[in-house]
């Protein structure tokens, strides 16, 4: 199949590479030339704009930072909808606000383009392995048509509801991940300050009820003071802002999310927005005077 891919950052690169490995033709576009060059070296073809990608491809995938980027790439000048033919399918795999997905979906519908929102969880390692969890919103028929393509990039591909439901599910995921990382940093800082080695604490508790995928991935990073992304603090701020806005819209209070958001904001203003979200350990180091790592 010929698949357009727009947005070849940390996640988009390995996802597009897996599509190529599975025998698809990929037509790529990104505003950063080196990102396009990388995937062209892997066998993709480059296009000069989002419009040019859509002119060539019956399926276009977008993997961009946030709602404004997806809106401009799809609905803006020289965007996907300028080049799309009727019947084209747009699969937006970015993590954006559910209301933005629905707005983009309406613009697609007006042009006879079908759309799914299909954000992912799992980060760069799972994008490389093709084992992402993919949360999808949209029509069942379009979902069934795209499922084999999504299964190249992920092992769990679940239809969560109508358009926007994929991103609502992703927001729930991001709230849980943020809260987990924050309490992990809090607990490890306490252990260190009380004189118990955080590595020993990790080994002792990871198999018990407190153990989690988050703990396995992030405790070693905190212990090594390695905050290379991974998933950047600034992207998590974006997700929690979308979560808070969505929660306020439906009247569902999110006091825990707001607390962690303030910690992330503090790190952002300390110049750490590009650090991995396990950098919440750096917030605790600042307020406690104790680093988890050496």
Residues of this chain that interact with ligand NAD (CB under 6 A) are 6-12, 29-32, 35, 63-65, 69, 72-73, 94-95, 120-121, 123-124, 230-231, 235
Place of tokens 């803006």: 76
Residues sharing a CB contact under 8 Å with residue 196, sequence separation 6 or more, in sequence order = none
Rounded Cα–Cα distance for residues 122 and 182 (Å): 18
Shorter beta-carbon distance to ligand NAD: residue 58 or 229 = 229
Min. distance of Cβ 176 from ligand NAD in angstroms?
13
Cα–Cα separations (whole angstroms), residue 44 to 8, 16, 52, 164, 238: 12, 9, 14, 30, 30
The residue count of the chain comes to 294
Task: Decide: 133 and 103 in contact? Cβ < 8 Å.
Answer: no
Shorter beta-carbon distance to ligand NAD: residue 31 or 190 = 31
Listed in sequence order, the DSSP H helices in the chain are 12-21, 33-41, 50-56, 67-75, 80-83, 98-110, 123-129, 140-153, 165-193, 198-205, 213-223, 233-250, 255-269, 280-288
Token couple for 17? 């590479």
Shorter beta-carbon distance to ligand NAD: residue 8 or 104 = 8
Number of Cβ within 10 Å of residue 251's Cβ equals: 6
Min. distance of Cβ 123 from ligand NAD in angstroms?
4
Q: Say whether 13 is catalytic.
A: no
Do the strands 59-62 and 45-46 form a parallel or antiparallel pair, or are they unpaired? unpaired
Shorter beta-carbon distance to ligand NAD: residue 130 or 198 = 130
Q: Mutual orientation of helices 255-269 and 165-193 as an angle, nearest 10°?
A: 70
Number of Cβ within 10 Å of residue 226's Cβ equals: 14
What DSSP assignment string belongs to 2-20? EEEEE--STTHHHHHHHHH
Residues sharing a CB contact under 8 Å with residue 158, sequence separation 6 or more, in sequence order = 133, 134, 135, 136, 169
Min. distance of Cβ 91 from ligand NAD in angstroms?
13
Shorter beta-carbon distance to ligand NAD: residue 5 or 143 = 5
Shorter beta-carbon distance to ligand NAD: residue 69 or 193 = 69
Q: Is 100 exposed, middle or buried (0-12, 13-18, 19+ CB in 10 A)?
A: buried
Q: Which of 17, 51, 170, 232 is catalytic?
A: 170
Min. distance of Cβ 294 from ligand NAD in angstroms?
26
Catalytically annotated residues: 170
């Amino acid at each position: 199949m010929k698949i357009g891919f727009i947005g070849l950052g940390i996640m988009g690169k390995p996802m597009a590479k897996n599509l190529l490995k599975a025998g698809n033709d990929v037509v790529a576009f990104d505003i950063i030339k080196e990102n396009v060059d990388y995937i062209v070296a892997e066998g993709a073809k480059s296009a000069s704009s989002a419009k040019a990608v859509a002119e060539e491809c019956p399926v276009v995938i977008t993997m961009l930072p946030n709602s404004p980027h997806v809106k401009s790439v799809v609905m803006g000048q020289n965007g996907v909808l300028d080049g799309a033919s009727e019947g084209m399918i747009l699969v937006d795999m970015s993590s954006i606000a559910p209301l933005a997905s629905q707005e983009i979906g309406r613009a697609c519908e007006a042009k006879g383009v079908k759309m799914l929102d299909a954000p992912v969880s799992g980060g760069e390692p799972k994008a490389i392995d093709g084992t992402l969890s993919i949360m999808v919103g949209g029509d069942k028929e379009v979902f069934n048509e795209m499922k084999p393509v999504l299964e190249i990039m992920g092992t769990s591909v679940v239809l969560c509801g109508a358009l926007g439901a994929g991103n609502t599910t992703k927001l729930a995921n991001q709230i849980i991940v943020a809260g987990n990382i924050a309490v992990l940093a809090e607990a490890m800082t306490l252990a260190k300050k009380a004189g118990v080695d955080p590595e020993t604490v990790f080994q002792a508790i990871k198999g018990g009820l407190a153990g989690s995928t988050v703990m396995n991935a992030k405790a070693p990073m905190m212990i090594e003071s390695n905050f290379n992304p991974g998933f950047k603090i600034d992207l998590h701020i974006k997700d929690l802002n979308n979560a808070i806005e969505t929660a306020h819209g439906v009247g569902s209070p999110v006091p825990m999310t707001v607390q962690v958001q303030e910690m992330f904001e503090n790190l952002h203003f300390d110049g750490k927005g590009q650090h991995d979200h396990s950098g919440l350990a750096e917030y605790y180091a600042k307020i406690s005077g104790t680093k988890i790592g050496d």
